[in-house]
């Protein structure tokens, strides 16, 4: 028997994305954003409020990075989602994390997070219902510790956080269950 739950955000899993940008003075700000997705092979869409400090920084710098949060850095990833850069000016410094400037865009790469997409601002879409930042991915960098023998990111090594909107929990993938573009061949 099914039970009606009403109108709730019911997409699972959601990524835990760390979005970082410099402000007008070159100061790093990072936010935790679950509402983001690929929108083309080299484009990412982030549905984030225009009022976020990071959103303002993206509008100013025209560049940003998107890192995949991982289990090893869950507490700081959660902190980046709990604390606003509009209210806590030294938010990034309080974590003790480190940033280096991307060699590809004017944005910080947070070195503790193992996979980072380095993006140029391609477009901002504003409607009465949402504010979307669209980035062109010009480079992806990954720590060697999360790469497989073939040089690609290995999801089970990455231990990327998955956000659960039902109970506000964080999870990681437990294992591979099939091969895409293969499992349905016999139907």
Residue 15: closest CA among 39, 40, 41, 33: 33
- Those residues whose C-beta lies under 8 Å from the C-beta of residue 49, and which sit 6 or more positions away, are 55, 131
pTM over 0.85: yes
**H-type helices in 7-135, by residue range?**
53-61, 74-82, 91-95
Quick one: pLDDT at residue 71? 98
Query: Are 66 and 122 a contacting pair, CB within 8 Å?
Result: no
Quick: pLDDT tens for 23-80.
Answer: 999 999 999 998 999 999 999 999 999 999 999 999 999 999 999 999 999 999 999 9
**At 143, is the pLDDT very low, low, confident or very high (cuts 50, 70, 90)?**
very high
DSSP 8-state secondary structure symbol assigned to residue 93:
H
Quick one: pLDDT at residue 150? 96
Ordered structural domains, the chain, with CATH? 14-171 (2.30.110.10)
| CA 41-43-48 angle, 5° bins | 140
């Amino acid at each position: 028997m099914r039970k009606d739950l009403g109108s709730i955000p019911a997409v699972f899993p959601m990524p835990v994305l760390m979005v970082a940008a410099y402000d007008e003075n070159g100061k790093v700000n990072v936010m935790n954003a679950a509402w983001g997705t690929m929108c083309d092979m080299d484009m990412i869409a982030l549905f984030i409020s225009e009022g976020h400090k990071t959103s303002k920084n993206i509008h100013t710098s025209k560049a940003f990075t998107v890192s995949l949060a991982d289990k090893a850095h869950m507490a700081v990833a959660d902190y980046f989602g709990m604390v606003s850069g509009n209210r806590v000016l030294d938010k990034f410094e309080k974590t003790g994390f480190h940033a280096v400037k991307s060699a590809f865009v004017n944005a910080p790469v947070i070195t503790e997070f193992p996979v980072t997409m380095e993006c140029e601002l391609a477009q901002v879409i504003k409607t009465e219902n949402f504010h979307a930042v669209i980035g062109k991915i010009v480079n992806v960098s990954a720590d060697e510790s999360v790469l497989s023998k073939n040089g690609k990111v290995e999801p089970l090594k990455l231990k990327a956080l998955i956000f659960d909107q039902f109970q506000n929990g964080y999870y990681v993938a437990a294992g591979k269950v099939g091969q895409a573009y293969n499992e349905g061949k016999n139907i």
